[in-house]
Amino acid sequence: MKKFTDIGQFNQVIRDVKITTDYKGKDENGDAIYVHDTEYPTLRFRGTVKCHGSNAGILLTKEGNYIFQSRERELSLGQDNAGFMTALSGKNYKKLFEGIEFNDHCCIYGEWVGCFPYKTPILLANGEKMAIGTIVKQKLDVEVMSYNQTTGKLEAKKIIGWHNNGETDDWLKINIQRRKRGGKSTGLVVTPNHKIFLKEDNKLIEKFASELKIGDKVLIAGDQSLVEANIESIENYTPKENHKKTKYDITVEDNHNYFANNTLVHNSGVQGKVALAQLSKRFIIFAVRIDDVYQDMENYKHLQDNDNDIYNILQFPYFYIDIDFNRPELSQNELVEKTLAIEEECPVGKFFGISGIGEGTVLEAFDSNGKRYCMKSKGLKHANGSKVKTMRVVDEDKINALLDLADEVTPVWRLDQMLVQACDLMNGGFIERKHMGEYMKLIMADVLKEETDKIVESGYEFKDLTKYISEIAKKYFFDQEINRDK
- pLDDT of 269 higher than 50: no
* 32 sits in which H/E element: strand 32-34
Q: What residues form DSSP beta bridges with 473?
A: none
Which of the two residues, 77 and 379, has the higher pLDDT score?
77
Contacts 24+ apart (CB under 8 A), 243-246: 243/118, 244/117, 244/118, 245/117, 245/167, 245/168, 245/169, 246/117, 246/118, 246/133, 246/164, 246/165, 246/166, 246/167
Q: How far is CA 251 from the centre of its chain?
A: 22
What are the tens digits of pLDDT across the range 118-156?
889 999 999 999 999 999 999 999 999 999 999 999 999
Which of the two residues, 275 and 147, has the higher pLDDT score?
147
Predicted pLDDT of residue 484:
67
Buried b (16+ CB within 10 A) or exposed e, 222-258: eeeebbebebeebebeeeeeeebbbbbbbbbeebbbb
- pLDDT of 218 higher than 60: yes
Distance linking the first and last C-alpha atoms of the chain = 52
- pLDDT of 386 higher than 50: no
- Which CATH architecture is the domain 121-267 placed in? Beta Complex (2.170)
Strand boundaries in 133-194, DSSP class E: 143-148, 153-167, 171-178, 185-190
Q: Is 64 buried (19+), middle (13-18) or exposed (0-12) by CB count in 10 A?
A: exposed
What are the tens digits of pLDDT across the range 228-250?
999 999 988 888 888 788 888 88
Q: Between helices 462-485 and 436-457, what is the axis angle to 10°?
A: 140
Fold identical between 10-26+34-111+278-383 and 121-267? no
Mean pLDDT of 203-230: 89
Is beta strand 42-49 parallel, antiparallel or unpaired with respect to 360-366? antiparallel
Residues 6+ apart with CB under 8 A from 352: 279
Domain regions of the chain by residue span:
10-26+34-111+278-383, 121-267, 396-485
Mean pLDDT of 10-34: 91
What are the tens digits of pLDDT across the range 413-464?
999 999 999 999 999 899 988 999 999 999 999 999 999 999 999 999 999 9
Mean pLDDT of 339-368: 91
Confidence of residue 162 (pLDDT cuts 50, 70, 90): confident
- pLDDT of 265 higher than 60: yes
Fold of 10-26+34-111+278-383: D-amino Acid Aminotransferase; Chain A, domain 1 (3.30.470)
Average pLDDT value for the chain:
88
Confidence of residue 306 (pLDDT cuts 50, 70, 90): very high
Predicted pLDDT of residue 117:
75
**Residue 424 region by backbone torsions, left for phi larger than 0, else alpha for psi between -120 and 50, else beta:** left
Check: CB of residue 395 under 8 Å from CB of residue 338.
no
Of the given ranges (137-141, 259-263, 351-355), which has the lowest mean pLDDT? 351-355
pTM for the whole structure: 0.67
